[in-house]
Amino acid sequence: MHIERVELITVRMPLVHPFTTSFSTQTERRPLLVRVTASRDGSTVTGWGECVALADPSYSPEYLDGAREILRRFLVPSLLAWQASGRAVTAEVVATATEHVVGHRMAKGALEMAVLDAGLRLDGRSFATHLGVTRTEVPSGVSVGIESSIPEVLARVGGFLDEGYARIKLKIQPGWDIEPVRAVREEFGDVPLQVDANTAYRLSDAPLLRRLDAFDLLLIEQPLAEDDLRQHALLARQIATPICLDESIVSVEAAADAIAWGATSVINIKPGRVGGYLAARRIHDLARAHGIAVWCGGMLETGIGRAANIALAGLPGFTLPGDVSGSDRFYAQDITDPVVMKDGVVAVPDGPGFGVEPIADVLEELTVDAVDVTA
């Protein structure tokens, strides 16, 4: 394909309810969209990517303004230089064309995503077809933030269960762990339940974390720090709840290390965190070959990232429900037609590319910054 134009569009989306994790409270999301205009054989298409970096570098080193800058100054120029030297541009070459930039996987993933969407649209193929996904729907789980009281969290969980969500994930941190889990088990019984600590504990907390074993959780997500693979392996010997890594799995190589060292028995795959959907697919394949279950994480995506995640979650190794909720779990107004959760599942999109695009009026209304980085 020929890349004609690349625009970076920053959007402001208020959350329907504050989302508190062990690292921050978010009341709005500022997604960074990458819009690629590309042509081939006389047809021109628009491809959309979404950068999942948060506003602050609190979940990972990347953050919104940094990602925008890296895309503008380094990643997009590198891809255009690749093209100018006569080499073909496809999603498959984006990682190679930008590999001299160290890190910044969320920014790279967003560019690759837009090129992938454009390429699939030029081919008239859906992402699910490209992946070989035949499932038409996938189970939908929901991530429940830290609340100010137990009755509050019970009300939230009860509401989501009434809506039909297939699995509940509770955010935990020291001081908000055993009691909310106990309360949810007592109130709602044997529902599929897991917890996410977002790195809030230390290995010396193993005796406390072992108390969670009594609640028959599906898994505990990222109890220890991002770099602590060895310590996660040590923790795994001290608790019965399966450990699932999120923040630590920044690449295919990190996934291979974590599996080899026994640091993880489940992997949360977030395409942005690992540099894009192509790397995400490779991690799925690797994990599957090792009998390690995977599920699709979320980063409060708009309908664009949500649609792509749902297709990815249709691969056979995704054996646990993902954080692929309906749009209304976070947003009163999504920028695309909303993803709808019904009866515990969300539908795998089947249109060309990721199968969704922003609604022009809504996008315009919510856009806070837009720049053509190829002008």
Q: 230 exposed, middle or buried (CB, 10 Å; 0-12, 13-18, 19+)?
A: middle
Residue 127 binds which entry of Mg ion, ligand OSB, none, CB below 5-8 Å type-dependent: none
User: How many positions of this chain bind Mg ion (CB under 5 A)?
Assistant: 3
Does 226 help bind Mg ion (rule: CB under 5 A)?
no
Least Å distance, CB 126 to Mg ion, is 28
| Cβ–Cβ under 8 Å, residues 325 and 140 | yes
Phi, psi of 219 (to 5 degrees): -175, 165
Residue 10 binds which entry of ligand OSB, Mg ion, none, CB below 5-8 Å type-dependent: none
Does 198 help bind ligand OSB (rule: CB under 6 A)?
yes
What's 218's DSSP letter? Answer: S
* 333 Cβ neighbours under 8 A, 6+ residues apart: 13, 362, 366
Does 196 help bind Mg ion (rule: CB under 5 A)?
yes
Query: Binder to Mg ion among 7, 50, 246, 323 (CB under 5 A)?
Result: 246
Tell which positions 270-299 bind ligand OSB, by CB under 6 A.
297-299
| Residues tagged active-site | 171, 270
Q: Report in angstroms the alpha-carbon separations of 356 from 68, 243, 304, 321, 351.
A: 23, 34, 6, 22, 7
Does 194 help bind ligand OSB (rule: CB under 6 A)?
no
Question: In 3-state terms, the chain is what percent helix, strand and coil (to 5)?
Answer: 40, 25, 40
Query: Binder to ligand OSB among 126, 325, 327, 336 (CB under 6 A)?
Result: 325
Least Å distance, CB 245 to ligand OSB, is 11
| Cβ–Cβ under 8 Å, residues 267 and 249 | yes
What is the Cα–Cα distance from 74 to 95, expressed in whole angstroms? 13
Query: Binder to ligand OSB among 323, 327, 331, 363 (CB under 6 A)?
Result: 323
Of 323 and 357, the one with the shorter C-beta distance to ligand OSB is 323
What are the residues binding ligand OSB (CB under 6 A)?
A: 59, 143, 196, 198, 246, 297-300, 323, 325
